[in-house]
Amino acid sequence: MSLDEPSLARLMAASQRGDRAAYRALLGDCRLWLARYFARRIAPHQIDDLVQETLVSMHRKLATWDSGRAFLPWLAAIARYRWIDMLRRQRDEAELGDNDAAVGAEDEAVHARLSIDRLMTLLPPGQAQAITLVKIEGASIAEASQICGQSESLVKVNIHRGLKKLAQLIESE
């Protein structure tokens, strides 16, 4: 396992040349990095799906990494794109509620730039609280409604509006 930038960049450069062993190692490392990246951004039961989607996107867009630039910001940009896409789908489909607990993760330089905690401070308190309770901590709508004192419909509206604004904020980063 080699989650440092120079090792990942070397593996990526070899992958672009068609080295399958290097690519398999790179995907394995990226899988771990992405799981940690998404851990504080989405509900735990969605992490594996999003990691998978991001690996497939990365595979399709291998040619867009330039060996003259760092690898992790490139990977983070693709991960962020998939994350925004998932937020949009959630907003559109209004998939609400689950009961998983959040998983902690260590921040890194690239993570910190898009920290969900920092982004939450940019949302109105009602929206941030509804998203944190339901989408990150895994509370149901009814539980969130009791905890934050908002009606259930207001919790849903706040999640919908908050996710929309969150996607815009992430895009503008």
Partner 1 sequence: MDKVSIENLIDGLADELQPVPPKKMVRGLLWTAAGWLAGAALLLWLYGMRHDLAAGGMPALSMLSFWLIAATGVAAAWSALRMGLPGVGRDYSGWRWAVLAALSLPIAALLLAVGDGHAAMDVARHGLDAHCLSLGIASGLGVGAALFLWLKSAAPTSPTRAGWVIGLASGAAGATIVALHCADDNLIHIALWHGLAVVISAVAGRLILPRFLRW
Residue 56 interacting with partner 1 (CB under 8 A): yes
Select 148 or 167, whichever has its Cβ closest to partner 1.
167
What is the identity of the amino acid at 27? L
Spatial neighbors of 150 by CB under 8 A, at least 6 apart, are 126, 129, 130, 144, 158
Nearest approach in angstroms of CB 160 to partner 1 is 19
| Contact criterion met (CB below 8 Å) for 27 and 55 | yes
Q: Determine phi and psi for 105, rounding to 5 degrees.
A: -155, 150
Q: Which positions from 100 to 139 touch partner 1 by CB under 8 A, shown as an x/- string?
A: ----------x--xx-------------------------
Between the alpha carbon of residue 140 and those of residues 8, 29, 80, 135, the distances in Å are 39, 33, 26, 9
Select 111 or 156, whichever has its Cβ closest to partner 1.
111
Under the rule (CB under 8 A), what is the footprint of partner 1? 15-18, 20, 23-24, 27-28, 31, 48-49, 51-52, 55-57, 59-67, 69-70, 73-74, 76-78, 80-81, 84, 110, 113-114, 171, 173
